Amino acid sequence: MPVKRAEKTAMPVREALARAHDFVEVNSGYTPMQASFESERCLRCQDPVCVDGCPVNVPIPDFIHAVADGDMASAAKILRSANPLPAICGRVCPQESQCEAECSMTKRFNPVAIGHLERYVADWERTQPLTVKPNITRKEKIAVIGAGPSGLVCAGELARLGYPVKIYEALHAPGGVLRYGIPEFRLPKAILDWEIGVLKAMGVEIECNVIIGRTITMDQLFDKMGYAAVFIGTGAGLPQFLGIPGENLNGVMSANEFLTRVNLMGGYKFPENDTPVKVGKRVAVIGAGNTAMDAVRTSLRMGAEEAMIVYRRSEKEMGARVEEYHHAIEEGVKFNWLTNPLEIVDDGSGWVSGLRCQKMQLGEPDASGRARPIAIPGSEFVLPVDNVILAIGTTPNPLLTRTTAGLLTNKKGCLVADEKSGLTSKTLVYAGGDAVTGAATVILAAGAGKRAANAIHEALGTRASR
């Protein structure tokens, strides 16, 4: 038996300067030896607090023990029973603030690399032949709106429960933010395609290019098309802008636009693919969440000589996963902390020539609980840049709520839904994911999709027995 090590087994990564110019995945995954070694670091706690740190309560020690025992089939089964998107969550979950934050090893050493092991198990599972089959035992048809994380998981769970399910997707390809937002170098699209393949093998139908609320209304889903229940997983896709002067200059984009051009439309292969992506020599990305990291690292890969983050708070308040931050540093991304953008500067012909900023210092905590940034007088300066990409957050898309009477939203435009069941203000209409919470994580969306599926099952079950 290997000696328990204090240090987490490092994830093998591709060399920074090589990977910063292509879209191949940065992390290459544990070898069987590394996975075995890391799994032995788990202390097998009596009271596994890591499980409480997981939004979907994956039985973490159980699957890690199965890895340690070399029983990969059991590990995969245990993992998937709680998390329907393990290969994706193993890559994109902020483990450091969830399961790994609670790990007992964290108190004295480094936490067990739960995320890396999750990825290892899920990647093994993908090498195995698919055994799932459709098992439709129920008459009631369910419609799922949006093929993002919550919709995919909800559909999968409903199919498992025996329902015929159809997912309606507005774009030409399923996946939602996993398709248009998260870049290939962090989440290879082949993984997403495999997960979608599993759903299809379970009998889930996916119809793209259908915009519920426009092509078909919510009421038509029930009245004309005979659906018994609907799940809304339309996400939070509407990009926010700062409202500072110069935002309409050519060369200013939302991170959503930039990432969609690259990821969904394959713009990195222009002109072989038709959608162009224009990146100048110097790119400033405003914001410091995961989307900002994706945008700034994608800028480097699209040929920017210098790519930088501009953030009005400090490193401590940054929203990005720590791994993405470290990878960004390794790849040469520059960070302008405590820097508040004031104006995007016109080069005289309507294109961006710079970003006028002021330096900030941190004051008392604000409403979000984070230290409030306060401007330092006389600290204004201009960063010379060719592009400004805004990654300051997104809000739920209003398209469905605007066209559906009786579907209530809160002040922020988020759907009002019961925390446990996801039931909205409309009978037999459920919702989950970013459309309810505002921009959050894949795992929270997955958890909400799964809970809503079970709530739908319960609601319909009750009806059938009447």
Partner 1 sequence: MARIIETRRLTPVTKLYRLDAPLIAASAQPGQFVMLRVREGGERIPVTIADYDRDRGILTIVVQEVGATTKRLAALDAGDEILDVAGPLGGAIELPAKGHLCGIGGGFGSAALLCLMREYTARGYKTTAILGARNKDLLILADELKPLCDSVQVCTDDGSAGFKGFVTQRLAQLIEGDGPGRPDYVVAIGPMAMMRAIAETTRAPKVKTLVSMDPLMVDGTGMCGGCRVTVGGRPQFACVDGPCFDAHEVDFDVAMRRNKAYVNEEKIARERVDCMAARKELQ
Interface with partner 1 by CB under 8 A: which residues? 170-172, 180, 208-211, 214-217, 237-239, 241, 247-248, 250-251, 253-254, 256-257, 260-261, 264-266, 269-276, 278, 350, 397-399, 402
Name which of 129 and 271 has its Cβ closer to partner 1: 271
Single-letter code of the amino acid located at 192: L
Please name every residue paired with 141 in a beta bridge, in sequence order, or none if there are none. 227
The conformation of residue 15, written as its DSSP 8-state character, comes to -
- Closest distance of CB 423 from partner 1, Å: 25
Handedness of CA 169, 170, 171, 175 (dihedral sign): negative
As given in the structure block, the two tokens for residue 201 are 């093998």
- Closest distance of CB 443 from partner 1, Å: 22
Name which of 203 and 239 has its Cβ closer to partner 1: 239
Separation between Cα atoms, residue 234 and residue 397, nearest integer Å: 7
Name which of 115 and 146 has its Cβ closer to partner 1: 146
Contact assessment for residue 284 and residue 292, using Cβ atoms and an 8 Å cutoff? no
78-82's contacts with Cβ under 8 Å and 24+ in sequence apart are 79/118, 79/121, 79/122, 80/125, 82/54, 82/56, 82/57, 82/58
Question: In a 10 Å sphere around its CB, with 0-12 CB exposed, 13-18 middle and 19+ buried, how is residue 368 labelled?
Answer: exposed
- Closest distance of CB 232 from partner 1, Å: 15
- Closest distance of CB 390 from partner 1, Å: 8
- Closest distance of CB 271 from partner 1, Å: 5
Name which of 254 and 424 has its Cβ closer to partner 1: 254
- Closest distance of CB 410 from partner 1, Å: 18
Name which of 396 and 449 has its Cβ closer to partner 1: 396
Sheet (strand 429-431) strand order: 205-207, 165-168, 141-145, 227-232, 429-431
Separation between Cα atoms, residue 301 and residue 17, nearest integer Å: 10
Residue for token digits 């933010």? Answer: 177
- Closest distance of CB 264 from partner 1, Å: 8
Name which of 323 and 386 has its Cβ closer to partner 1: 386
| Dihedral angle computed from the Cα positions of residues 78, 54, 432 and 411, in that order, rounded to the nearest 10 degrees | 180
Name which of 135 and 215 has its Cβ closer to partner 1: 215
